[in-house]
Amino acid sequence: MMFNDHLPIYTQIMDIIKQRIVSGALREGEKLPSVRDLSTELKVNPNTIQRSYQELEREGFVFTQRGMGTFVTEDKEYIAKLKDYMATTLVKNFMIEMKALGFEVKQVIELINQQIKEEQ
Amino acid sequence: MDYIIEIKELSKQYFNKKALNNISINIEKGKIIGILGPNGSGKTTLIKIITGILRQSKGEIKIDGKTPGVYTKSIVSYLPDRNFLYPWMNIKDAIAFYKDFYKDFDEKKAYELLDFMKLNSKSKISSLSKGMTEKLNLALVLSRKAKVYVLDEPIAGVDPVARDQILNAIIENYNKDSTMIITTHLVRDMESIFEDIIFLKEGEVFLARNAEELREERKMQIDDLYKEIFG
Amino acid sequence: MGKYIKYEIKGSYKFILGIITILLVAFSLIQMNIYKLSQQSNAVQNLKVTPFITGISGLVVFGAFLTAFFYIIGSFRKELYENRGYLTFTLPLTGNQIVGAKFIVAMMWFIILGLFVVVYNLLLGSIIFSNDWIANMKDIIQLLREILNQGTIALGVLGILSSIMTLILIYFSITVSRVSIRNKKLGSLWFVLFLILNGVIAYVILKINTIFPYYMDINVFEISHIDNVNLDNVNFVSQTVKNMGSPILLNDNCCNAYINITGLITKILITIGSFLGTGYLIENKIDL
């Protein structure tokens, strides 16, 4: 796995896991891969993975059970909130960039509709 | 903090050239540390002093509290950047050799690693390709339960499949009780496994920091930082 | 150290086996030719050929030992100049253990080669000349009885000591030149160093012998001043050496020898010193 962002690796890994949670690839209450497994999968220092898990726990998306591992939160509402939040952030950023390119709101909506048609 | 390696004002001078100039670093237990720098930056010189096959001209170095010697050699597991096994050996001989000389060598683990790397224990060492040699050497070195691992350019000149196997082997064998010191110039391929980074430039420590802190602060990956420093 | 000896043997036995094979072929041919000649009744021709055969045999043995010698020195050099040193010198062994193991294995090979030459020739002789074998053996035992006396034994022991010192001095010279000059091309400088060391040591021992001219009579184990040694009997070679200074060993015309005690001790001490010096340099000064 290549990390090309300007962000530290642990935040990039947090984003990957959050994405897996909101998309349902990781269900509520499901066990996360062990630090070591994810470490080999992503070829990342185990302490970095550990830190991602700790931060995710601090933010309330996962919880740890001693000797059992790390699990996705069972709080469906919280996950939904995260999903909303991530979507809102994406749209916000999108709008900012479109505006920076000089698009009006109307034009943006048109473009989106056009894109949806093409994909269908 | 528990330091496994303490280096104080270390210098190495050859005839007319300073290979290391007044280096002071302390290396903590249980970390994977990347030593980065271009050729001639002093990486190999530093590593050779740690492994006890080169003497400093000035300064002090302590490994687990001892100056390099018979004891430190028994706790340091060294992967040189060259084919260092005796040419008459086959893989089995090499494993027996390690078992005979290193009390911390785990024979079972060595055969598991060979299996994992898809190496045949009957092969003669002189008949192995560059990638296979590198994998065999690494399997031997990692099968020791050493306090310090010193890996000099572990993925140089191997194909991508071997590279992934080697990186996996390194990560899987990492544990809290041992320290891994790794040099590389393939920064992009390896940077994510390092916890701390030491940049060496012209025989001096240019920068020594936690890798994630550096990424956060400089808003770039270590590879980009490397290019910025040495480019 | 025992383990290191094991791997020294594993690394070199094939080469030594090669030498032994060549010796085996050579001596088989030589003995068969002797047998052929002994079947011919031309005694005059036999007499002419005997020195020739003895010469060839000597050359074969000399060649075999020289080859083994160069091989052993070469493999020591390789340790210091080639990649294998990265394995050897990161082993948790002391310098003395490494040099000691190499030395012991080298000596072992020389002894084995020597024993092979003697035993194989006796054995082969016993087969080829089966009818007069017992007579031959009696001759040989008789010859040994005549040759082996205090004088020749002392000479032999001193010879062995000198070979040991030579080998260790070579190890020492190779190591010193490696430690002082990193350049591989100048690596053959060790030979010059070795020659100089040899000269210096010979001179020092001669000087010491002259200052302390006390000789031990091997026959009665009594030490006496050189003036009290009965030099009338001392043989020609020893006499000639004596004229240049006091040698370590004085052999007389028959069966006795006188050994200079301080000279002998100096020689032993120098040998031990260069051994320990080599071990020290290897452990503390080698820069790979």
For C81-104, give the DSSP string: HSTTHHHHTTSS--HHHHHHHHHH
Q: Is C183 in CB contact (< 8 Å) with chain B?
A: no
Distance from CA of A108 to the nearest CA of B (A): 31
Residue-level pLDDT at B15:
78
The neighbouring-strand residues paired with B200 are B205
Question: Distance between CA atoms of B150 and B77, rounded to whole angstroms?
Answer: 6
Better-scored residue on pLDDT, C166 or C233 = C166
Mean pLDDT of chain B: 91
Q: Tell which of C16, C79, C87, C288 to mutate to test the B interface (max B CBs under 10 Å).
A: C87
**Neighbour-count burial of C11, counting CB atoms closer than 10 A to its CB (0-12 exposed, 13-18 middle, 19+ buried):** middle
Q: Give the rounded percent of residues in chain B with a pLDDT score beyond 70.
A: 100
Touching B (3+ Cβ pairs <8 A), the chains are: A, C
Residue C145 CB neighbours (<10 A): 9
Residue-level pLDDT at A114:
92
Distance from CA of B172 to the nearest CA of A (A): 7
- ipTM, interface predicted TM-score of the complex: 0.92
Structure tokens at B184: 């590389």
Chains C and A touch (3+ CB pairs under 8 A): no
Residue-level pLDDT at C250:
75
CB pairs under 8 A between A and B: 54
Using alpha carbons, list the distances in angstroms from residue C224 to C78, C217, C229, C238, C261: 47, 8, 7, 18, 10
Residue C8 CB neighbours (<10 A): 21
Which among B14, B54, B73 is the nearest to C91, CB-wise? B73
Residue-level pLDDT at C239:
66
CB contact under 8 A, A51 and B212: yes
* Phi/psi at C190 (5° precision): -55, -30
Residue A1 has pLDDT above 60, yes or no: no
Could you tell me the pLDDT band of residue C279, with boundaries at 50, 70 and 90? very high
Question: Distance between CA atoms of C253 and B14, rounded to whole angstroms?
Answer: 59
For chain C, the domains span 1-147, 158-288
Using alpha carbons, list the distances in angstroms from residue C174 to C44, C110, C169: 51, 20, 9
Residue-level pLDDT at C61:
92
CB contact under 8 A, C283 and B74: no
Residues of chain B positioned with their CB less than 8 A from the CB of A46 = 171, 174
